[in-house]
A and B are shown apart, each in its own frame.
Chain A
Amino acid sequence: MDAVTRGAAVYVLLLIIFRLAGRRTLAQMTNFDFVLLLIISEATQNAMIGEDYSVTNGALVVLTLVGLDVLLSHVKRWSEAAEMWLDGKPTVIVEQGRPKTDIMQRARIDEDDVLMAARERQGLESMEQIKYAVLETSGGISIIPR
C-alpha cells in the first residue's frame, strides 16, 4: 500500500510544481538544468522508496508512476478542460513577423529564444521571415516560415 501511495504523492507533487513553474522550465536544457534534473530525481527517489529496498517495492513504484501516466492520458482525451489544466494549450507568440511581447513576457521567452529556434530548425535569420512561431505544450518553439 505504501509504495503506491508514495509513488502517487510524488507524481502529483511534481505535476503541480512543474505545471506552476511553466513549460519552459526544463525544455531547453542548459548544463545547470541538467544538474537540477539529477538532483530532483535523487530527492524524489528517497521519498518514493523510503527504507524498503525490495524489488517488489521498486516495481510497484514504477508501476504506479506509469499507471498514473496512462490514466492521465485517457483523462486528457475525455476532457478538454483536464487537458487545458494539465498540459496547457499551444500559444502563438509570433504572427506574420510581429512578436506578441505581452504573451512572450508571461511565458518567460524573449526574441532571442525565438530567433534561436528559427535558426536551428529552419535556418532563418530574422523575425520578418517567420510566419508563425508557436510555443508548444512540450515547451519547445516551433517555427513556420513565410
Chain B
Amino acid sequence: MWRIERIGWWGMGAILAAAMAGLFGHGPISRTTAPLADPAHPGDGMLLDYERFGRAHSDSQFVLSGPAPAPAGGTFSLWISEEYLTDAELIRITPEPSTQDLVSNGVRYYFPVEEGPRTVIFRFQPQRPGRLSGAFRLNDGPPTSFHQWLFP
C-alpha cells in the first residue's frame, strides 16, 4: 500500500512537470509552427504558430506573422478551412479584418496593410476534445494543414 502511494507521488510530480512544460496545453512544448507560402510572392510567406496540444473550451491562439505579400495600401487574405470552423468557435481576430467572404470549404478574411511586418492573431475556442484538423491559406497559396490534440 505504501509503495503504491509512493509511486503515486512520483506520478503526480511527473504530471505536474509535464503540465509545466505544456504537454496539456498552454506551455512551451504545446506550440509548434508551420510555414504559409504564396507562390505569387515567393519569399514573402508567413509563419503560423499554433497549439498542437490544447484544451477543449479553453482559448487557443493562432499567431500568423511575417512580411505578408501585399503592396502597401493593398490587402492580403487568409483562408481558414470550414472543417476547423465547425469544431471551434472563433472568439476574435486581431486586427479585425476589413471584409470576409464565404468561399468554397471555408472563410476568407481580408486585411488591409501598410508598411512593415504583420501579425494577425486568431483566437479560437475548440468546442470538443480529441483530434481537430484544419488548414490556412495565404492569398491563393497552397493550404497549410494543422492538427491539434485537445484534452477534455
Partners in one complex: yes
B20 adjacent to A1 (CB under 8 Å): yes
The answer to whether A54 has its CB under 8 Å from any CB of chain B is yes
A54 adjacent to B57 (CB under 8 Å): yes
The answer to whether B130 has its CB under 8 Å from any CB of chain A is no
The answer to whether A51 has its CB under 8 Å from any CB of chain B is yes
Q: Which residue of chain B lies nearest to A52 when distances are taken between CB atoms in the complex?
A: B58
A1-B26, A53-B57, A54-B57 given; A63·B9 CB < 8 A: no
The answer to whether A123 has its CB under 8 Å from any CB of chain B is no
The answer to whether A4 has its CB under 8 Å from any CB of chain B is yes
Q: Mark A1-39, 1 if CB is under 8 A from B, else 0.
A: 111110000000000000000000000000000000000
A63 adjacent to B151 (CB under 8 Å): no
A55 adjacent to B152 (CB under 8 Å): yes
A1-B19, A3-B19, A56-B25 given; A51·B59 CB < 8 A: yes
Binds A, one of B10-18, B103-111, B113-121: B10-18
The answer to whether A44 has its CB under 8 Å from any CB of chain B is no
Inter-chain contacts of A1 with B (CB < 8 A): 19-22, 26-28
The answer to whether B24 has its CB under 8 Å from any CB of chain A is yes
- 22 CB-based A-B contacts, threshold 8 Å: A1-B26, A1-B27, A1-B28, A3-B19, A52-B55, A52-B57, A52-B59, A53-B57, A53-B58, A54-B57, A54-B58, A55-B152, A56-B24, A56-B152, A57-B55, A60-B19, A63-B12, A63-B15, A66-B12, A67-B12, A67-B13, A70-B9
**Extra inter-chain contacts (17) besides given A1-B20, A60-B19, A67-B12, CB under 8 Å:** A1-B28, A2-B26, A3-B19, A3-B26, A5-B20, A52-B57, A54-B151, A56-B25, A56-B55, A56-B151, A60-B15, A60-B24, A63-B15, A63-B16, A67-B9, A67-B13, A70-B12
